[in-house]
Amino acid sequence: MLEIGNSSSCTGCAACYNICPVQAVTMCSDEEGFLRPLIDTTSCINCGKCEKVCPILYPTITPESIKEAYACFALDENIRKSSSSGGVFTLLAQEVIRRKGVVFGAMFAEDFSVIHSWTDTEDGIKQFQGSKYVQSCIDIHSLNVRSFLKMIDGCYLQVHLVRLAG
């Protein structure tokens, strides 16, 4: 069973919440309002999936593994001005949508909390532009990502998330 949930080392990424096959993990606010996993020990089946997916317990990128770095930015000044990180997210998202894909991103809700949603239009990308310097709630949208995966020759397309060292 995941032990890091109550620790200040926990990033609140909700990977444990998303992987739990019996929904024994919920994301709850701590005394500072930061979302951290809470495990219902009566529902937990001790499968260990929450521990295996935890990026704190099992980091996938270490400083020793980083050998190269790339820098890029959008040539379109309007994209750069309305974006963060040089507008690269916008360029990548536009390409995904041109290829008939969907893009998930973080956006502000009406109460200025940060939530996640998706779009399949280039106009919809605008809601995801710009940095949001608060913790976001992954909630049900991350679970719905699977519904967008398409079957090709009996195999699911794989979605790979790359965490870049900052």
- Give the chain's domains with CATH numbers: 4-59 (3.30.70.20), 65-156 (no CATH)
Q: Which long-range contacts (CB under 8 A, 24 or more apart) does 37-40 make?
A: 37/2, 37/5, 37/10, 37/12, 38/5, 39/1, 39/2, 39/5
- Region 115-128 average pLDDT: 91
**pLDDT surpasses 70 at 159:** no
What global pTM score does this model have? 0.59
Segment 74-105, tens digit of pLDDT: 999 999 998 887 899 999 999 989 988 888 88
**Of 95, 165, 88, 104, nearest to 136 (Cα)?**
104
- For 139, the 3-state DSSP assignment is helix
> Which of 4-13, 15-24, 125-134 has the largest mean confidence?
15-24
Segment 16-61, tens digit of pLDDT: 988 999 999 998 888 888 888 999 999 999 999 999 999 888 887 7
